[in-house]
Amino acid sequence: MCLALKCAMSGFSSVSAMKKVVEQFQLEEGLNHLKVSQAAGDVKQYCLQNVQYDSLWSRVSSSSNPIRPQKICPLF
pLDDT over 90 percentage in the chain:
21
Checking if the pLDDT of 10 tops 80, the result is no
**Is residue 70 situated within a structural domain?**
no
Identify whether 39 is part of a domain.
Answer: yes
pLDDT band at 31 (very low <50, low <70, confident <90, very high): confident
| Among 27, 18, 33, CA closest to 5 | 18
**With a threshold of 0.85, does the pTM exceed it?**
no
| CB 21, CB 3: distance < 8 Å | yes
Q: Which among 35, 19, 15 is positioned nearest to 3, based on CA atoms?
A: 19
Top-confidence residue, 15 or 70: 15
In a domain, 15, yes or no: yes
| Total tally of structural domains belonging to the chain | 1
User: Is position 73 within any domain?
Assistant: no
Q: Which domain does 44 fall in, by range?
A: 3-51
Does residue 60 form part of some domain?
A: no
Residue 14 in domain? yes
Whether the Cβ atoms of residue 49 and residue 55 lie closer than 8 Å to each other? no
